[in-house]
Amino acid sequence: MPLFYIILSFFILKGLLTWPFYYKLNWKPLAIGFLLALAEAPFLTLLYQDTEINFWIPFFFLFVFDAAVCFLLLQKLWWKAIIVSILFNCIGFVLFILLNS
């Protein structure tokens, strides 16, 4: 999966689709979503292609990491952070595995 497409698809998930949850913060969710995509998408691709790690482990850590980012950098609402994290990480992982298989 080329880098551009994987970052773009992660940005659509974690930036554009997250934006309605935090629409009062204007452009900030988009920027955070882009940074999350930039950090996580190449990292996951490297893990998937170079190692034989069980992807439940990165899934769990990314779920916690995304929830922490949404809670600490966007809005101090833990339930909203967890919902966003679960929802888009589930979609993101299915998408990632399908695109890389």
Partner 1 sequence: MKRFLLLSLLLLAGLTIFADAGINIQRQHARVIFSFSGISNLQGYKLIQTHVGYYAKEDDKRPYARLGTIINDDDHTINIQEGGKNWDESDRDIYLSLVDSLTGKTVDSFEYFAKDYSIHFKIAGVKDGRMQYRTDSTRAVYQYLLLNGEGDNAAAFRRNRLIFIACSAVGFMLLIGLFVRNKNKNSK
Q: Write out the residues near partner 1 by the rule CB under 8 A.
A: 1-3, 7, 32, 35-43, 45-46, 48-56, 59, 69, 72-73, 79, 82-83, 86-87, 89-90, 93-94, 97, 100-101
Q: How far is the CB of 90 from partner 1 (least distance, A)?
A: 4
CB 93 within 8 A of CB 59: yes
Q: Quick one: DSSP state of residue 27?
A: T
Q: Is 2 exposed, middle or buried (0-12, 13-18, 19+ CB in 10 A)?
A: exposed
Q: How far is the CB of 56 from partner 1 (least distance, A)?
A: 6
Question: What 3-state class would DSSP assign to 82?
Answer: helix
Closer CB to partner 1, residue 16 or residue 99? 99
Closer CB to partner 1, residue 24 or residue 52? 52
